[in-house]
Structures are given as C-alpha cells and as structure tokens.
Amino acid sequence: MTTIGIDPGQSGGIAWIDEKGRACAEKMPETLADLWELVESIRMGSGATPETRLDLVVTGCRAYVEQVHSSPQMGVKSAFTFGQGFGQLEMALTAAGIPFERVRPQAWQKALGCLTKGDKNVSKRKAQEIFPSLKITHSIADALLIAEFGRRAGK
C-alpha cells in the first residue's frame, strides 16, 4: 500500500511512501492539470518528475490530508482560494479512486513527537531525521510527516 500525505495550500506539498518505505515528495502543484498528473502518477506507481520517479510497488493507495480551515487573519480572497484548493485536492483523490481521510495537525504531530506550535522548523528537522536521504524543504516537510503518520497508522 502506498501512503500519501498532503499538506494543503500553495506553500504545502504532497508526499508518498511505498510498501518498501521509499519516500518521495513534491511541492504543491500550481495548476489543476499538474495536480491531477501528480495524483494519477502516484496511483500508477511513479513520480511526476525525473527526480521523484521510482518504480514503486503499488498495490493500492490511501491518502491522509491535513485537516485545515481558514483563519481570521486571511482575507476574503485568500480564504476562498485556500478552500478552493482544498476541494480540488479532495476531488483529485476521489477521481483517482484513492480513499482518504482528514487528519488534524495535532494528531500527526503528537504521534510523531514534533508539536510545532506553528514553527515550521520543528517539522522540517523531524522530517530530516526520519528521511535523511531526502532534501527537506518547508513545502514538503509536513507532507512527508503526514505520510509517515498514515503509514504507521495503517500497519
């Protein structure tokens, strides 16, 4: 089973871990077409770019999407755009036939021992610890940790 972790939003990312524990991650695609191509390529067992392409062992996928909401600090336009992007993620997973569940940030952070309290450097350090062979950036760190949370929960 391939486990997918998604940190929604323009500054987020999508990560996936195959049955052998090999992990890949990409920053959030910018267009709907790119999002669909990435989700479908993960489902089919390969990454969307040469850097992330693997011959993954895929016998099914399950996704974990960070449960997010708009905040009072967001303007009307940014809140609408954020919500629209979240819906597009769920629709891409649904269209690809990938079951998913929403997971609260506190749940995956507590399970992995990295309560961030809003400090992205905490999750970046934890992701680097768990995935030392990957180049960790802020845009993929949470997605990798959400995927790892899902992988552990699915065992």
Domains defined for the chain, CATH in brackets: 2-153 (3.30.420.10)
Backbone angles phi and psi of 35, in degrees to 5 = -60, -50
Could you tell me the two tokens for 13? 């990312």
Look at the pTM and tell me if it is higher than 0.85: yes
Q: What is the C-alpha to C-alpha distance for residues 54 and 84, in angstroms, rounded to an integer? A: 30
Strand 23-27 versus strand 100-103 pairing type: unpaired
- Token pair 């450097």 in the structure block, residue: 121
List the one residue out of 61, 59, 33 whose CA is nearest residue 48: 33
Each residue's pLDDT, cut to its tens digit, for the chain (155 residues) gives 899 999 998 899 999 998 888 999 999 999 999 999 999 999 987 654 445 444 444 458 999 999 987 677 778 887 888 888 899 999 999 999 999 999 999 999 999 999 998 898 999 999 999 999 999 999 999 999 999 999 999 86
